[in-house]
Amino acid sequence: EKQLVESGGGLVQPGRSLRLSCTASGFSFFDSAMTWFRQAPGKGLEWVGFIRSRGYGVKTEYAASAKGRFTISRDDSKSTVYLQMTSLRTDDTGVYYCGRDRYGDHNMPGDVYDTWGQGTTVTVSS
Amino acid sequence: DIQMTQSPSSLSASVGDRVTITCRASQNIRTYLNWYQQKPGQAPKLLIYVASNLQSGVSSRFSGSGSGTDFTLTISSLQAEDFATYYCQQGYSTPITFGGGTTVDI
């Protein structure tokens, strides 16, 4: 069974940093693109960014809201993808999910996510 | 960025009803449109991919159609477990974008 487990969420003050982790099992992490999403309280889903596999150059792309503040990285030996968040703002508050592309990895178009973690909650507040 | 507009934003229905949710893209996305179901406190669940393909393990009462800019998710006979929020998502280009969601309640 494909599974993703996020961790690292918590309460953090504005301007501080936080690193989220997402550990995978049950599929070939090495050749899978991994994506981060978030959902503010009571709001819809927002794409944060992705990281491609080594076969696709470990390419990263970010939403405008994340660019310059967030960094996605991966450790294939640990089947884990990370979301390093810096200069956190109150509007970064929400549940953060990681997701796996249904096709493993590929060039766009066609990103679709068949496996999601349970989410980890980030609260940015003083 | 490609804007995804869902309608309605919410609807009330009864068990056994046929329910249709629409999603419109701000530009041609061919058939790179996916549908998800999300229940409170849970992660999204993929229902339909590439506009009309039923994800493995998903009930056949869910179906999708459309291409270009206009897409539809249909639930043929609403069941109690289908009360949830539904999102469309375009996979055509980055930034990946979602519709605002449609909440289906009793």
For A69-107, write each residue's pLDDT tens digit: 999 999 999 999 999 999 999 999 999 999 999 998 888
Q: Flag whether residue B6 sits within 8 Å of chain A, measured between CB atoms.
A: no
Say which DSSP state B42 is in: S
User: What pLDDT shows up at residue A1?
Assistant: 94
User: What pLDDT shows up at residue A107?
Assistant: 85
Q: What is the pLDDT of residues A1-47, one digit of tens each?
A: 999 999 999 999 999 999 999 999 999 999 999 999 999 999 999 99
Is the distance from CB of A110 to CB of A102 less than 8 angstroms? no
Q: Collect all residues of chain B within an 8 Å Cβ-Cβ radius of residue A64.
A: 95
* Nearest residue to B93 (alpha-carbon basis) of A63, A116, A34, A96: A63
Element (H or E) spanning A98, and its range?
strand A94-101
Section B33-37 average pLDDT: 98
User: What pLDDT shows up at residue A54?
Assistant: 95
User: What pLDDT shows up at residue B95?
Assistant: 97
User: What pLDDT shows up at residue B37?
Assistant: 98
Confidence check: pLDDT of A125 > 90: yes
Is the distance from CB of B70 to CB of B7 less than 8 angstroms? no
**Contact between chains at B50 and A112 (C-beta distance less than 8 A):** yes
* Residue A45 zone, left/alpha/beta (φ > 0; ψ -120 to 50; rest): beta
User: What pLDDT shows up at residue A11?
Assistant: 98
Q: Flag whether residue A41 sits within 8 Å of chain B, measured between CB atoms.
A: no
What is the distance between the alpha carbons of residues A13 and B31, in angstroms, rounded to a whole number?
Answer: 42
Identity at A112, one-letter amino acid code: V
Is the distance from CB of B51 to CB of B66 less than 8 angstroms? yes
